Amino acid sequence: MITCRSALVDGTFRRDVAIEVTDGVVTKISSAEQPTSPPDVDGVVVPGFVNTHSHLFHRALRGGAHGEDFWNWRTTMYQVAERLDPDRYHELALGVFGEMLDAGYTSVGEFHYLHHRPDRSRYPHHEMELAVAEAARQAGIRLTLLDTCYLHGGFGQPLEAGQTRFGDGSVEAWLQRWHELADALPVDPRVRLGAALHSVRAVAPDELHHAIAGLPADVPVHVHVSEQPAENRACQEATGLTPTTVLERAGVLSARTTVVHATHLSDEDLAMIAHTGTTVSLCPTTEADLADGIPRTADLVAAGVPLAIGSDENVVTDPFAELRMIESGVRLSSGRRGVVSNERLWGSGAQVHSVLPELAAVDPQRPGLRVGDPADMVAISPDSARLAGVDPLRWPLTASEADVTATIVAGQRVPSHSPATLRSALHTLFKEDS
* 252 in a structural domain: yes
Question: How many structural domains are present in the chain?
Answer: 2
Chain mean position to CA 301: 19
Q: Which residues of 404-428 are buried (b: 16+ CB within 10 A; e: fewer)?
A: bbbbbbbbeebeebeeebbeebbee
224, 261, 264, 417: which is the annotated catalytic residue? 261
Residues 168 and 31 reside in one and the same domain: no
14/342 Cα distance (integer angstroms)? 16
CA–CA distance, 2 with 20 (Å, rounded to integer): 6
Pair (285, 409) in one structural domain = no
Contact 118, 86 (CB under 8 A): no
Do 390 and 242 reside in the same domain of the chain?
no
Buried b (16+ CB within 10 A) or exposed e, 2-23: bbbbbbbbebebbebbbbebee
Contacts of 74 (CB under 8 A, 6+ apart): none
Collapsing DSSP states into helix, strand and coil, what is residue 192?
A: strand
Give the pLDDT confidence score for residue 60 in this predicted structure: 87
CATH code, 399: 2.30.40.10
- Would you say residue 71 lies in a domain? yes
Domain shared by 11 and 113, yes or no = no
Contact present, 305 and 348 (Cβ < 8 Å): no
Does a structural domain hold residue 148? yes
Q: Note whether 20 and 64 are same-domain residues.
A: no
Question: Are 55 and 139 contained in the same domain?
Answer: yes
Instruction: Kindly state whether residues 233 and 129 are assigned to the same domain.
Output: yes
How many C-beta atoms surround the C-beta of residue 263 within 10 A?
A: 23
Query: Is residue 168 annotated as part of the catalytic site, yes or no?
Result: no
- 32 backbone φψ class: left, alpha, beta (φ>0; ψ -120 to 50): beta
Select from 349, 366, 400 the last residue of a domain. Answer: 349
- Three-state DSSP class for 112? strand
Supply the DSSP string of 47-64, one letter for each residue: EPEEEEEE-GGGGGGTT-
Displacement of CA 431 from its chain's centroid (Å): 29
Tens digits of pLDDT across the chain (434 residues)? 899 999 999 999 999 999 999 999 999 999 876 666 777 888 999 999 999 999 999 998 887 755 667 767 778 888 888 889 999 999 999 999 999 999 999 999 999 999 999 888 999 999 999 999 999 999 999 999 999 999 999 999 999 988 999 999 999 999 999 999 999 999 999 999 999 999 999 999 999 999 999 999 999 999 999 999 999 999 999 999 999 999 999 999 999 999 999 999 999 999 999 999 999 999 999 999 888 999 999 999 999 999 999 999 999 999 999 999 999 999 999 999 999 999 999 999 999 999 999 999 999 999 999 999 999 999 999 999 999 999 999 999 999 999 999 999 999 999 999 889 888 988 887 775 54
Specify whether the backbone of 233 is left (phi greater than 0), alpha (psi in -120 to 50) or beta. alpha
Q: Would 6 be classed as within a structural domain?
A: yes
Q: Say how far apart CA 8 and CA 370 lie, in whole Å.
A: 10
Q: Examine residue 38 and say whether the peptide bond preceding it is cis (omega within 30 degrees of 0).
A: yes
Q: Check whether residue 187 and residue 119 sit in a common domain.
A: yes
- In what order do the strands lie in the sheet containing 2-9? 25-31, 12-22, 2-9, 41-47, 377-380, 404-409, 412-413
Cα 4–310–47 angle (5° rounding)? 15
> What's the pTM?
0.95
Based on the fold, state whether residues 255 and 302 are members of the same structural domain: yes
Alpha-carbon distance 15 to 250, whole Å? Answer: 48
434, part of any domain: no
Based on the domain organization, do 301 and 340 belong to the same domain?
A: yes
Specify the pLDDT at position 434: 45
The yes-or-no answer on residue 261 being catalytic is: yes
Residue type, 226: S
pLDDT at 92: 94
Q: Indicate which CATH number applies to the domain containing 74.
A: 3.20.20.140
Same domain, 175 and 216: yes
CA 25, 31, 34, 38 torsion-angle sign:
positive
Exposure on the CB side of residue 330, measured as CA atoms within 13 A:
20
Domain membership of residue 427 (yes or no) is no
Tell me the residue range of the domain where 130 lies.
48-349
Looking at the fold, whether 271 and 299 belong to one and the same domain comes out as yes
- Identify whether 33 is part of a domain: yes
Cβ proximity of 283 and 329 under 8 Å: no
**Marked catalytic residue, from 168, 269, 292, 312:** 312
Indicate the helix (H) or strand (E) that contains 249. Answer: helix 243-249
The answer to whether residues 149 and 198 touch, using CB atoms and an 8 Å cutoff, is yes
What distances in angstroms separate CA 288 from CA 77, 205, 264, 328, one per listed residue?
Answer: 17, 29, 14, 12
**Final residue of a domain: which of 349, 383, 398?**
349
Report the SS3 class of residue 247: helix
Query: Does 336 reside within a domain?
Result: yes
